[in-house]
Amino acid sequence: MHALKPMTELQQEIFDMCLQYLYDHENPQQMIKNSSLFKEGYDAFGISDNEQRELRDMVLERYNPNPQEIVDLGHIFFSTHKYEFGLLAVQLIKKHRPRMDRYVYEGIYKWLEEGVENSALADILSNKITPVFLELGIASLDDFETWRNASSKWTRRTAALTMLYLMDKASPERLLEYIKPMLNDEDKDVQYGVGFFLRELWGLHSEEVEAFLLKHKEAAAPMVLHIASQKMHIEKKKQLGRTNMPKTGKNVRNTQYKRKPQRQTQQPKQKSTRHSSTRRTAQNWNKHTPTSQRRGFQKKNRTKPNVVENELPEIHADNIPDWDSFDDVY
């Protein structure tokens, strides 16, 4: 992130209170469990959902910051690179959605450009925050066009997913014109967002989206076509197959190899009769014969190796937080 201004006395007090709470409730085991959900990396304290909400309520009740103060606090929170701090900033601004203004719009853009580091927070912003700018008239579709060329992939992904709000409000032609420059974005996370938007738009305007994809299939990234066509009929998917896809070579699974006969350089071995007279006869017992009566039975004393195994913590599915379930209770 860019260099931050020195914190004000109020910002320092809020930050210190939050930091102390996070240290008091950190859970390394929970952090390890949650880390598997974040392919981009996960630096966190490992607190629970209830503790996260409690921290949010403490900030709101004790300090009651306004939306502009929350935006400035968010820059400080995101600079820590800790997941809970970034999530706290999003939760706080979410409580002030009806009171957001252009200053908040510019601040959220800066959060995405300099602070957001994973798809979880980016998708919460694109689902719960950025559509409010369109709803309240704070920003327009033309304003979000500048986000398409942003340096951060999370800003560009948000630029695509925010348009889900306009699917039934703007014409499909205008939305497809908006998304066209993003069809060949080089980043996979952005491609997924673009494909997801086109897939949902297809549900309302199937003919327009199909014609658009057929026209631009050679220029679009393969992942965009794959995600966008997930709900289409198989014949439609075949029509979207790119002709310039790189060949991957032979399919080893379908290639049949004939085994060459080995050259015989020695005479075949004959069956040995050595020690045939000293071989033991078959044991005359069955599974019901007691082990003590079985001839030649010796109980082996197998000692366990002197290794101490650490017990693994018990994992419960309900302990793993659902990062995308941000209804009004948050």
Ordered DSSP codes for 131-155: HHHHHTTSS-HHHHHGGGG-SSHHH
Percent of the chain at pLDDT > 70 equals 72
Measured distance CA(177)–CA(170) in Å, rounded: 11
| Mean residue pLDDT across the chain | 83
Mean pLDDT of 195-201: 98
In a domain, 134, yes or no: no
Q: Is residue 136 part of a domain?
A: no
CATH of residue 39's domain is 1.25.10.90
pLDDT for 23 beyond 70: yes
Q: Flag whether 186 is in a domain.
A: no
The reply to whether 68 falls in a domain is yes
- Residue 323: what pLDDT? 36
In a domain, 235, yes or no: no
pLDDT recorded at residue 306: 46
Cβ atoms within 10 Å, residue 324: 10
- Quote the pLDDT of residue 274: 56
> Per the domain annotation, does 111 fall within a domain?
no
Q: Using CA atoms, how far apart are residues 312 and 309, in angstroms rounded to an integer? A: 9
Q: Which pLDDT value is given to residue 240?
A: 87
In angstroms, the Cα distances linking 221 to 151, 181, 198, 271 are: 19, 11, 13, 66
Distance of CA 95 to the CA centre of its chain: 25
Output the CA–CA distances (angstroms, integers) from residue 294 to 279, 281, 284, in the order listed. 18, 13, 9
Residue with tokens 């650490």: 310
Least confident piece of the model among 34-48, 88-102, 229-243, 297-311:
297-311
In-domain check, residue 63: yes
Nearest to 197, CA basis, from 236, 233, 218, 170: 170
Token readout for 109 is 């853009």
Burial class (CB in 10 A: 0-12, 13-18, 19+), 274: exposed
Domain that holds residue 82: 6-99
Does a structural domain hold residue 159?
no
| pLDDT value, residue 326 | 38
| Mean pLDDT along residues 179-192 | 97
pLDDT at 230: 94
pLDDT at 289: 66
pLDDT tens for residues 266-294?
Answer: 555 565 555 555 555 555 666 666 666 66
Distance linking the first and last C-alpha atoms of the chain = 27
pLDDT of 90 above 50: yes
pLDDT 10s digits, 38-87: 888 889 999 999 999 999 999 999 999 999 999 999 999 999 999 999 99
pLDDT at 179 over 50: yes
What band does 138 get if pLDDT is binned at 50, 70 and 90?
Answer: very high
> What is the model's pLDDT at position 291?
61
Better-predicted residue by pLDDT, 311 or 150: 150
- Least confident interval from 146-150, 215-219, 246-250: 246-250
Confidence of residue 170 (pLDDT cuts 50, 70, 90): very high
Q: Give the number of domains in the chain.
A: 1
pLDDT at 196 over 60: yes
Report whether pLDDT(144) > 80. yes
Q: How many CB atoms lie within 10 A of CB 187?
A: 14
Cα-trace Rg, the chain: 32
Q: Output DSSP code: residue 328.
A: T
Among 4-8, 21-25, 315-319, the minimum mean pLDDT is found in 315-319
Residue predicted with more confidence, 28 or 298:
28
Q: What is the pLDDT of residue 249?
A: 43
Numbers of helices and strands, H then E, in the chain: 15, 0
- In tens, the pLDDT along 232-261 reads 999 999 988 855 444 444 443 444 444 555
Q: Is the pLDDT of residue 16 over 60?
A: yes
Q: Please tell me the distance from the alpha carbon of residue 19 to that of residue 77, in angstroms, as a whole number.
A: 10
Question: Do the beta carbons of residue 213 and residue 222 sit within 8 Å?
Answer: no
Q: How far is CA 161 from CA 164, 165, 232, 264, 279, in A?
A: 6, 8, 20, 68, 79
